[in-house]
């Protein structure tokens, strides 16, 4: 298993908060096990950050579940008005809404049995994050799920970004006998 | 699971940015000498072009060998990422073209490489960008030159050729107070001797041709972003981009915005890209950077002290010597030593005589190569007033501190006694 440094860069969190809410081990586990990712505040506009993230996650074989009161379809998926309307289980609730809305979203995420509450880059509600954590959810704060996936899948590396991954181990290709 | 660890500089010099290849297990970084890269399918191709997917399209924009060089430099500079380009000149021009709009202004140190002065003065003028040069040694000079149109502060950590040291920390604070990013050229220092981002610089540029490559065989430049600057008020990064259907780079890529735009707009369009083979050779240089720089600064100090004591030498301008005005700053920012490039002047009654003696010295040297470069493993010598700074006017020469008697050395890794012998025999022979 690759050893990754904890993220040191570009976050408003304290070292203690980073250990709780940006643990590389937890993030890697989430990325490896999640299937359905509800994206709250997903925009229908193709050039918005949330749309970039959703499209990227689809390419990486996750199913995205758009949540936006405007309804309709985004990226081939039905848009639900809120989390409670989703008729199947979601693994991750990925939040693109202002910090003050995250308290209510957290309560709903717990109610629908989500396993992960993920507050995107620059969204930083520690009270809600702590609440989610105490309810047994994995709670991520002030991080981008696309960038984190890119860190471990060589995508970010390919555009010269510092993934902070340092290892001499040769990765095993999927399905390798060795 | 092993505990996360923050690895040391030397470890990252050898490993950062390169995970052994899963298919082949190749330990050295492979040279991907390929112009272009095959798409998985049409959706993949479209998403790469729309920037919705990371990956390689064409080596003018990104390349797998170059990516190793980029991430390794980013790691060593404590930056968020890096972009490698054709040369050091391309690195600074790419930075300016990415951040600035016509009518914007730069405040720059006057203690710069002559080629940079020319680029800033003449080439940027054609793009309606205005530059105010200031004596960098006093903070109030910078502050006085800032106008509402100022969008960038620029200086060299070790000024070429006189070896003055840029006081980065207060300058970065001044920039932050005015919401202006500080861009620092750290070519003469390399990340081993000084990491400007740790002192508050926003962006670092290098001519990697010099000590990073270290062997005088490959041109290259690199731009490193700290990722810490708030570009939300910068039109070039925050406003919709016409080149990408209204994409707002700062909104979508956050702390990667500057480097993404520099890569997929500026370098895509200027074509100032680096060759994969050059990236490979620069990576080879990085793998021994700390070992070489320790020897470079050790030899440089020995040579500087020798010249300082020599009866035919009028002055030596090396911040590693206690009599240099920036010796205290050098100890703060470059505690391991202020690089291995410095200047000295020969004792002479008139400027014309000084120029003549300088020529004689260069003609007599046996080990110092007479050429226009610095940062080679070999020792180098040049006369700036007639070469590297030759395009500058008399005024500009005075402001850059380049006198007719000035000789510049780049001290290499040879046996130090041999370097002293060479200088001694050449000085003895001057009439």
A63 interfaces chain B, CB cutoff of 8 Å: no
Alpha-carbon span B367 to A94, nearest angstrom: 64
**Secondary structure in 3-state letters for chain A:** CCCECCCCCCCCCCHHHHHHHCCHHHHHHHHHHCCEEEEECCCCCCCCHHHHHHHHHHHCCCEEEEECCCCCEECCEECECCHHHCCCCCCEEEECCCHHHHHHHHHHHHHCCCCEEEECCCCCCHHHHHHHHHCCCEEECCCCHHHHHHHHCCHHHHCCECCCECCCCCCCCCCCCC
pTM more than 0.90: yes
Average pLDDT over residues A150-170: 94
Res. B5: pLDDT tops 50: yes
A-chain residue closest to B26, CA distance: A170
Which of B52, B71, B256 minimises the CB distance to A56?
Answer: B52
Asked if B7 and A166 come within 8 Å (Cβ–Cβ), the reply is yes
Nearest CA to CA, how far is B227 from chain A (Å)? 6
Percent of chain B with pLDDT over 90: 87
Asked if A25 and B1 come within 8 Å (Cβ–Cβ), the reply is yes
3-state secondary structure of B324: coil
Contacts (Cβ under 8 Å, ≥6 apart) of B333: B157, B165, B166, B168, B189, B194, B199
Nearest CA to CA, how far is A74 from chain B (Å)? 15
Instruction: Respond yes or no on whether ipTM tops 0.85.
Output: yes
Which of B64, B74, B252 minimises the CB distance to A162?
Answer: B74
Is the CA virtual torsion B61, B62, B66, B71 positive or negative? positive
Domains of chain A and any CATH numbers: 15-158 (3.40.50.720)
Which of B300, B270, B409 lies closest to B345 in space, CA to CA? B409
Nearest CA to CA, how far is A101 from chain B (Å)? 20
User: From the candidates B53, B77, B238, B244, which should be mutated to test the interface with A, based on the most A CB atoms within 10 A?
Assistant: B53
Res. A95: pLDDT tops 50: yes
Structure confidence by residue, pLDDT tens digits, A77-94: 999 999 999 999 999 999
Asked if A10 and B254 come within 8 Å (Cβ–Cβ), the reply is yes
Nearest CA to CA, how far is B75 from chain A (Å)? 6
Average pLDDT over residues B129-155: 97
Is the CA virtual torsion B34, B36, B42, B43 positive or negative? positive
Res. B170: pLDDT tops 80: yes
Asked if A48 and B251 come within 8 Å (Cβ–Cβ), the reply is yes
Average pLDDT over residues A66-75: 96
Residues of A within 8 A of B11 (CB-CB) are: 166
Which of B22, B66, B71 minimises the CB distance to A171?
Answer: B22
Asked if B252 and A160 come within 8 Å (Cβ–Cβ), the reply is no
Please determine, looking at this structure, whether the domain spanning B289-428 carries the CATH number 3.30.565.10: no
Percent of chain A with pLDDT over 70: 92
pLDDT at residue number B1: 47
Res. B409: pLDDT tops 80: yes
Structure confidence by residue, pLDDT tens digits, B318-339: 999 999 999 999 999 999 999 9
Asked if A160 and B2 come within 8 Å (Cβ–Cβ), the reply is no
Asked if A10 and B53 come within 8 Å (Cβ–Cβ), the reply is no
Structure confidence by residue, pLDDT tens digits, B206-253: 999 999 999 999 999 999 999 999 999 999 999 999 989 899 999 999
Average pLDDT over residues A160-175: 89
CA B25 to chain CA centroid, nearest Å = 33
- What count of CB pairs under 8 Å joins A to B? 130
Alpha-carbon span B252 to B258, nearest angstrom: 11
Topology of domain B34-286 in CATH is 3.40.640
Asked if A161 and B81 come within 8 Å (Cβ–Cβ), the reply is yes
Residue B405: exposure state from Cβ atoms within 10 A (0-12, 13-18, ≥19): buried
Res. B33: pLDDT tops 60: yes
3-state secondary structure of B184: strand
Helix spans in B287-385 (H):
289-309, 327-333, 351-364
3-state secondary structure of B150: strand
Res. A146: pLDDT tops 60: yes
A75 interfaces chain B, CB cutoff of 8 Å: no
Asked if A5 and B22 come within 8 Å (Cβ–Cβ), the reply is no
Instruction: List all residues of chain A from 120 to 149 with a beta carbon under 8 Å from chain B.
Output: 121-122, 144, 147
Res. A5: pLDDT tops 70: no
Which of B6, B228, B263 minimises the CB distance to A159?
Answer: B263
Nearest CA to CA, how far is B268 from chain A (Å)? 13
Res. B136: pLDDT tops 80: yes
Average pLDDT over residues A51-79: 97
How many Cα atoms sit within 13 Å of A9 on the Cβ side?
A: 27
Is the CA virtual torsion B334, B335, B340, B346 positive or negative? positive
Residues of A within 8 A of B228 (CB-CB) are: 10
Asked if A155 and B54 come within 8 Å (Cβ–Cβ), the reply is yes
Nearest CA to CA, how far is B67 from chain A (Å)? 5
Which of B362, B364, B344 lies closest to B405 in space, CA to CA? B344
User: From the candidates B57, B255, B283, which should be mutated to test the interface with A, based on the most A CB atoms within 10 A?
Assistant: B255
Asked if A162 and B81 come within 8 Å (Cβ–Cβ), the reply is yes
Asked if B1 and A4 come within 8 Å (Cβ–Cβ), the reply is no
Where exactly are the structural domains of chain B?
34-286, 289-428
Average pLDDT over residues A120-126: 94
Average pLDDT over residues A18-34: 94
Structure confidence by residue, pLDDT tens digits, B95-123: 999 999 999 999 999 999 989 999 999 99
Residues of A within 8 A of B247 (CB-CB) are: 47
| B1 vs A123, residue with greater confidence | A123
Tell me the pLDDT band of B302, cut-offs 50, 70 and 90: very high
A59 interfaces chain B, CB cutoff of 8 Å: yes
DSSP state of B373: -
3-state secondary structure of B183: strand
Tell me the pLDDT band of B266, cut-offs 50, 70 and 90: very high
Res. A11: pLDDT tops 80: no
pLDDT at residue number B184: 98
pLDDT at residue number B393: 76
Asked if B52 and A25 come within 8 Å (Cβ–Cβ), the reply is no
User: From the candidates B58, B70, B71, which should be mutated to test the interface with A, based on the most A CB atoms within 10 A?
Assistant: B71
pLDDT at residue number A176: 66
- Cβ atoms of A121 and B254 within 8 Å: the answer is yes
pLDDT at residue number A172: 83
pLDDT at residue number A8: 53
Asked if A161 and B259 come within 8 Å (Cβ–Cβ), the reply is yes
Res. A7: pLDDT tops 70: no
- Cβ atoms of B63 and B32 within 8 Å: the answer is yes
For A125, phi then psi, to 5°, come to -115, 95
Nearest CA to CA, how far is A16 from chain B (Å)? 14
For B130, phi then psi, to 5°, come to -105, 140
C-alpha distances in Å from residue B22, one per residue of A74, A170, B43, B57, B127: 36, 6, 25, 21, 46
Asked if B52 and A24 come within 8 Å (Cβ–Cβ), the reply is no
Asked if B15 and A1 come within 8 Å (Cβ–Cβ), the reply is no
Res. B390: pLDDT tops 80: no
Instruction: Give DSSP secondary structure letters for B5-60.
Output: ----HHHHHHHTT-PPPTTT--SSPP----SB---SSHHHHHHHHTTSS---SBTT
Q: Which tokens is A173 given?
A: 């290709």
Res. B269: pLDDT tops 90: yes
């Amino acid at each position: 298993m690759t050893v990754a440094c904890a993220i040191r860069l570009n976050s408003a969190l304290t070292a203690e908060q980073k250990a709780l809410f940006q643990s590389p081990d937890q993030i890697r586990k989430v990325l490896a096990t999640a299937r359905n990712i509800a994206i709250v505040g997903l925009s229908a506009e193709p050039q918005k950050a949330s749309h970039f993230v959703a499209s990227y996650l689809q390419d990486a074989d996750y199913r995205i579940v758009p949540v936006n009161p405007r309804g309709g379809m985004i990226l081939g998926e039905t848009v639900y008005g809120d989390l409670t309307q989703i008729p199947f289980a979601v693994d991750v609730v990925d939040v693109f809404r202002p910090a003050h809305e995250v308290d209510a979203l957290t309560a709903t995420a717990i109610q629908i049995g989500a396993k992960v509450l993920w507050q995107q880059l620059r969204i930083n509600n520690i009270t809600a994050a702590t609440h989610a954590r105490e309810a047994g959810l994995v709670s991520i704060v002030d991080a981008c799920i696309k960038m984190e996936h890119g860190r471990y899948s060589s995508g970010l590396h390919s555009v010269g970004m510092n993934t902070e991954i340092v290892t001499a181990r040769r990765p095993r290709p999927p399905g390798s006998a060795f | 699971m092993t505990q996360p660890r923050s690895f040391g500089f030397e470890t990252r010099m050898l490993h950062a940015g390169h995970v052994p290849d899963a298919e082949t297990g190749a330990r050295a970084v492979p040279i991907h000498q390929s112009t272009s890269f095959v798409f998985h399918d049409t959706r993949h191709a479209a998403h790469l072009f729309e920037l919705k997917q990371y990956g390689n399209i064409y080596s003018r924009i990104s390349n797998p060998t170059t990516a190793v060089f980029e991430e390794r430099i980013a790691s060593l500079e404590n930056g968020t990422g890096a972009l490698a380009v054709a040369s050091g000149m391309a690195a600074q021009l790419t930075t300016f073209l990415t951040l600035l709009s016509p009518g914007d202004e730069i405040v720059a140190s006057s203690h710069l490489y002559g080629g940079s002065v020319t680029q800033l003065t003449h080439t940027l003028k054609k793009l309606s960008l205005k530059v105010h040069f200031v004596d960098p040694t006093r903070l109030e000079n910078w502050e006085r030159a800032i106008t509402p149109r100022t969008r960038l502060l620029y200086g060299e950590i070790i000024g070429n050729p006189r070896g003055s040291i840029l006081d980065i920390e207060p300058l970065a604070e001044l920039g932050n107070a005015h919401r202006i990013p500080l861009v620092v050229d750290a070519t003469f220092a390399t990340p081993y001797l000084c990491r400007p981002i740790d002192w508050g610089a926003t962006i670092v540029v290098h001519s990697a041709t010099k000590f990073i490559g270290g062997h005088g065989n490959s041109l290259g430049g690199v731009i490193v972003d700290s990722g810490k600057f708030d570009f939300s008020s910068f039109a070039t990064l925050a406003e919709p981009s016409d080149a990408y259907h209204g994409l707002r780079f700062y909104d979508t890529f956050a702390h990667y915005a500057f480097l993404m735009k520099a890569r997929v707009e500026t370098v895509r369009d200027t074509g100032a890209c680096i060759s994969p083979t050059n990236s490979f050779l620069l990576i080879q240089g990085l793998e021994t950077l700390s070992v070489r720089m320790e020897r470079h600064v050790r030899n440089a100090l020995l040579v500087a002290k020798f010249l300082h004591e020599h009866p035919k030498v009028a002055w030596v301008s090396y911040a590693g010597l206690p009599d240099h005005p920036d010796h205290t700053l050098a100890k703060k920012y470059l505690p391991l030593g202020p690089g291995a490039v410095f200047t000295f002047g020969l004792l002479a009654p008139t400027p014309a005589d000084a120029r003549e003696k300088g020529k004689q010295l260069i003609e007599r040297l046996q080990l110092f190569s007479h050429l226009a470069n610095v940062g080679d493993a070999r020792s180098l010598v040049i006369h700036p007033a007639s070469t590297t700074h030759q395009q500058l006017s008399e005024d500009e020469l005075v402001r850059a501190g380049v006198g007719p008697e000035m000789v510049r050395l780049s001290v290499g890794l040879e046996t130090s006694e041999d370097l002293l012998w060479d200088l001694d025999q050449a000085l003895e022979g001057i009439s």
